[in-house]
Amino acid sequence: MILFPAIDIQKGKCVRLVQGDFKQETIYHDSPLEVGKMWAAQGASWLHIVDLDGAKTGQSVNRDAIIGLASTVQLPIQVGGGIRTMEAIKDYLTNGVERVILGTSAIEDPDLLQQAITQYGKRIAVSVDAKNGKPTTAGWTEDSTTDVSTLVNKLERMGVQTIIYTDIAKDGMLMGPNFEELHKLQDESKMDIIASGGVTTVEDIEKLRQDSLYGAIVGKAIYENESRFQKMMEVL
């Protein structure tokens, strides 16, 4: 299983939100690049980058900082947040980013998603961010009309190979991920599933690994206690 340290960028800084609330932010570092170097030095094999401003606006607001990080830190990087055109996808994938994550566009523009999958295959992932069993869009501020299982089934039929599942109620709360929903998705799908939201303890990592998940994204837990990252890595 892959452990993905999260670097969430807002206004050029590395921050964490609580339950996706843009009004509840904690700034952890002024330089996402230095944070990326730190996790690389501690043994990370991937980085998970989110342009929070992009997720809210639909534009790649922090694009330059992300490209700078991708070209400097010698690790594969997956990036999400506001990527809603083929031009934006191509820009990232030809400038050092290994995998692009589509969220709102995957739900609202299936033609774009299909085109991206056809052209870039496994380098396209989809973020399924759920609240009360329903996927959300536009940086977690708008509810969609479908349910998680229906959406995931549709994504798999379209050829998506990797999804990132986040239960918004768990995000930033340090109370563990939604194991029940993750287990259900793992049973229902053959896609690679990355757990996100609430992943906090070594025990969480062990449980996700035992369920054969492809990966887990860790954020607040390792920023509040950096030594926890090494302990998590030891059980993989």
Active site residues: 8, 129
CA distance 199 to 93: 28
Residues 6+ apart with CB under 8 A from 219: 5, 6, 8, 16, 172, 199
CA distance 45 to 99: 14
Q: Give the 3-state secondary structure of 203-214.
A: HHHHHHHHCCCC
CA distances from 41 to 2, 10, 105, 149 (A): 16, 23, 34, 38
Token code pair at residue 125: 């992932």
The amino acid that residue 134 corresponds to is K
Token code pair at residue 227: 């030594």
| Residue for token pair 């998680």 | 148
* Backbone angles phi and psi of 154, in degrees to 5: -65, -45
Closest C-alpha among 151, 89, 150 to residue 121: 89
DSSP single-letter state for residue 59: S
CA distance 205 to 104: 28
